[in-house]
Amino acid sequence: MALFNLNMAARVPMTVDGHRALNEELHRLKSVDRPAIILAVEEARSHGDLRENAEYHAAKEKYGFIQGRIDELAEKLATAEVVDPIHLSGQKVVFGATVQLEDIDSGEKVVYQIVGIDEADIKKSKINYQSPIARALIGKSVNDEVEVKIPKGAVTYQILKVDFK
């Protein structure tokens, strides 16, 4: 009979750049933002009656937000499975790959990199690995056609190129 550790969180995939960005944010929160808000809480506390002290309550709320974000980032980093696309190769689409696609109907070409949840930024052509487009692409190869259901209907793409940068 297999035993499972219910406290063990699932591994969270992210690229090296995504891991670096989360580490930088965590460092800033711990070394700059949290100390500053602790000072603001102390300053507001010195103004007297805490029950009617709006500055104190606002500072405490901000402290709670910062501490919550620190905890969230620490958890994500602790469960991170860091993938460096430079060490990947092949013609199949996998996490970290940069994929060039052509819309079969319009001929429009697009390029996406498949990244972790916290890294996704459509303006930078980075899509979350759980997005409909990424899910349709993963496991497919160059020249394959994939149909993606999006809010405006279905789009069929042909995979032109798979790159690992």
* Nearest alpha-carbon partner for 107 in 43, 160, 150: 160
Q: List, for residues 94-116, the tens digit of each pLDDT value.
A: 999 999 999 999 999 999 999 99
CA separation for the pair 27, 146 (Å, rounded)? 41
Assess contact for 135 and 150: CB atoms under 8 A.
no
For helices 54-78 and 34-45, the axis angle rounded to 10 degrees is: 160
Residues of the chain with CATH 3.10.50.30: 85-163
The values of phi and psi at residue 144, to 5°, are -70, 150
Residues of the chain with CATH 1.10.287.180: 12-82
Q: What is the per-residue pLDDT for 67? A: 97
Residue type, 23: N
- CATH of range 85-163; options 3.10.50.30, 3.30.2020.10, 3.10.129.10, 3.30.460.80: 3.10.50.30
Q: What is the per-residue pLDDT for 10? A: 81
Terminal C-alpha separation, the chain? 43
Q: What is the per-residue pLDDT for 16? A: 96
The CATH classification number of 12-82 equals 1.10.287.180
CA separation for the pair 124, 151 (Å, rounded)? 21
Q: Which residues of the chain have pLDDT under 70?
A: 1-9, 49-50
Q: What is the per-residue pLDDT for 8? A: 46
Cα distances (angstroms) measured from residue 73 to each of 70, 134, 160: 5, 24, 36
Task: Confirm whether pTM is higher than 0.75.
Answer: yes
Q: Which residue has the tokens 């259901």?
A: 149
Arithmetic mean of pLDDT over the chain: 90
CA separation for the pair 53, 40 (Å, rounded)? 12
CA separation for the pair 4, 24 (Å, rounded)? 33
